[in-house]
Structure 1
Amino acid sequence: MNIARTLPSLLVLGGIWGLTPSLAKTAMAAGVPGLGFGFWAALGSATLLGLICRARGIAIPVSRIHLRYYAGAGFAGFAMANLVAYTSLKHIPAGFFALLMPLVPMLTVIGAALLGQERLNTRSVLGTALGFAGVALAMAPGAALPDPALIGWALFAALCPACYAASNLIGVQWAPRDTQPVAAAAGTLVAAALFMAVLGVAMGQFHIPGDAETRGDALIPLQAVMTAVAYMLYFRLLVTAGSVVTSQSGYIVTIMGVIWGAIIFSERMGPLTLPAAALVFAGLWLVTNRR
């Protein structure tokens, strides 16, 4: 399956993931704690996917192998990633955060090489170097980071793509075979909701709907539906198109993230943002297009 046939799914997936940071930032500004927002989004989307599985007669496997996979992917790819994202988004622009997302496939390639899953080649090394150079340029004065004093938060935010990359590696190492994509997504989100609940209670960020402004609580069901759609598309693309094609959504995530940040928060990027994004995209292209 090629890019042209999967383009609609990639556009929807990238659009959702590009909008999510801005929605979370809006909800937090309205008084919804970040971890509480993530918990209800995960629980709501897990419920929706569970209902879809029930309607289709699809069982959600609960063997030891499946539970290990749900726990690993839910913890690294959702709970820890969102903990980093929601904490850092209080301080950095949503558009800058979007520029970090193409690091996911680059870090995945490095991790896969360290784990012996695949070999590094010249394109991967060069692409990863260009990607990191682009992110470094985005942190420079006159780029996507408005204040040099925010570099510490920017570096902390870079842990988010590292969490997603860890989730990808877990998917390669632990993913059980012959599991329906919608069932895998539902199981992963149930585990994610449990982790988010524990983290929210432990850090004093558990949220009871009604304790924040109406506009903040109103974004929770929207995010739940978006998360359910994104996870269904993500797991289906992995099965039908493979990880390389699926990773092309990184271009769309970055573009839409910058656009949504400009629309919702009136974020204005400096003149160095364009060359920074060009470096990031060049690195992403080298890493994900190996032919």
Structure 2
Amino acid sequence: MQNRPLEYTLLGCLALLWGSSYMWIALALPTIPPTTLIAIRVALASVILLAIMAFWGIRLPLDARSWRLFMVQSLVNSTGPWMLLAWGQQYAGTAVSSVLNSTSPLWVFAFSFVLLQSGNRPGARQLAGALLGFAGIVLIVGTGALDDLGQNLLPQLAVLLSAVLYGFAALRGRLFAGMHPIVPASGTLLCSALVLVPASLIVDSPWQLAPSLMGIGAAIFLGTACTALAFLIYFRLLSTLGAMGTASQAYLRSGVGVFLGVVFLSETLDIETFVGICLAILGVVLINWPKRRNG
């Protein structure tokens, strides 16, 4: 039987880690270009997880099928969406990007009707939770963000596609059932590193960069906490809370951003934002509410 309080705590931790990543990225980007920053992020995380695996005596599988799964997962779970976000958010705007990127639970719900059998599909309560959570995000970001929809259409579509990929990646997590969470986390990030490190060498010539101490520190935190630890939690939650439950952390991320702003930047919390946070939390609760057992 699942330890529900523990899983919900881990869900909150995942939202905190991925929600704070935007702050760390903002601190690193002035002196480290996006491709190199993402390459450092996944390479450092891969090294950390492989070291933990060696300490625990866990080995990566060697069969071709597992590595095909890892490679596809890396493209839809990290390499693809991170590159799309890095490019799209520059032109789409932060507010509208936050709204579009938070649609991943809705995409999980939609994809489940195409990829899953009827008994494994989410129900009406989870759809209600997904819609409430999305409404909460709109209020947190500000309804004015919707006025920008359709402006800079291509970058906005890139951000939306990143959410589509996240939704698809969450559903694919069931393919790793039976593996220790650190195995798909390590395999996925290692595949991402094999793509992104050469790309950064070609695109950015990182040996010519002069990153600041702040940028280096932010990149290290991104790789260790926001990637290595976060992916370990992510793959555990896919096996315990499922795709919809794990994807629901997207609704908590914006609340994390508001919380960090209030605590560290002395920002104020207005009533619209407070109501949005409440709706987002309610949405997450509905999505993760345990199903009744028959009999």
TM-score, normalised with respect to structure 2: 0.78
1:222 corresponding residue in structure 2: 221
1:167–1:146 Cα change, 3 Å: closer
Of 164, 167, 173, which residue of structure 2 is paired with 1:165? 167
Q: CA deviation at 1:134?
A: 4.9
Query: Does the 8 A contact of 1:36 with 1:207 survive in 2?
Result: yes
Structure 1 residues 241 and 115: CA distance shift in structure 2, 3 A: closer
TM-fit CA distance, 1:253: 2.4
- What one-letter code is carried by the residue in structure 2 that aligns with 1:232? L
Matched with 2:7 is 6
Contact 1:98 1:253 in 2 (8 A): no
Q: Post-superposition shift, 1:110?
A: 1.0
Amino acid at match of 1:73: Q
Q: Which secondary structure does the structure 2 equivalent of 1:158 belong to?
A: helix
Percent identical pairs in the alignment equals 22
- Unmatched tracts of structure 2, length 5 or more: none
- List aligned pairs for 1:121-132, cutoff 5 A: 121-132=123-134
CA contact (8 A) 1:84 1:156 kept: yes
Residue aligned with 1:31, SS: coil
The CA RMSD over aligned residues, in Å, is: 3.4
Cα 1:162/1:208, change in 2 over 3 Å: farther
Deviations 1:168-204 (A, max 9, x none): 12223x43x43222122111100111232355456x2
- Superposed counterparts of 1:164-243, under 5 Å: 164-172=166-174, 174-175=175-176, 177-200=177-200, 204-205=203-204, 207-208=206-207, 210-226=209-225, 227-243=227-243
Match of 1:27 in 2: 28
* Cα distance in 1, alignment partners of residues 216 and 56 from structure 2: 30
- Change in CA separation of 1:208 and 1:140 when aligned onto 2, cut-off 3 Å: farther
Distance 1:243-1:136 versus aligned 2 partners, 3 A rule? closer
TM-score scaled by length of structure 1: 0.79
Name stretches of at least 5 consecutive residues in structure 1 with no aligned partner. Answer: none
70-79 vs 234-243, which deviates more? 234-243
Shift of the 171–146 alpha-carbon distance from structure 1 to 2, 3 Å rule, reads: closer
Residue 223 of structure 1 aligns to which amino acid in structure 2? L
Q: Distance in 2 between matches of 1:278 and 1:219?
A: 30
More helix by share: 2
- Change in 2 beyond 3 A, CA 1:128/1:12: closer
Aligned pairs, how many? 283
Report the counterpart of residue 109 of structure 1 in structure 2: 109
2:73 maps to 73
User: In 2 relative to 1, CA 114–136 (structure 1 residues): closer, same or farther, beyond 3 Å?
Assistant: farther
How far the C-alpha of 1:84 sits from its partner, in A, is 2.2
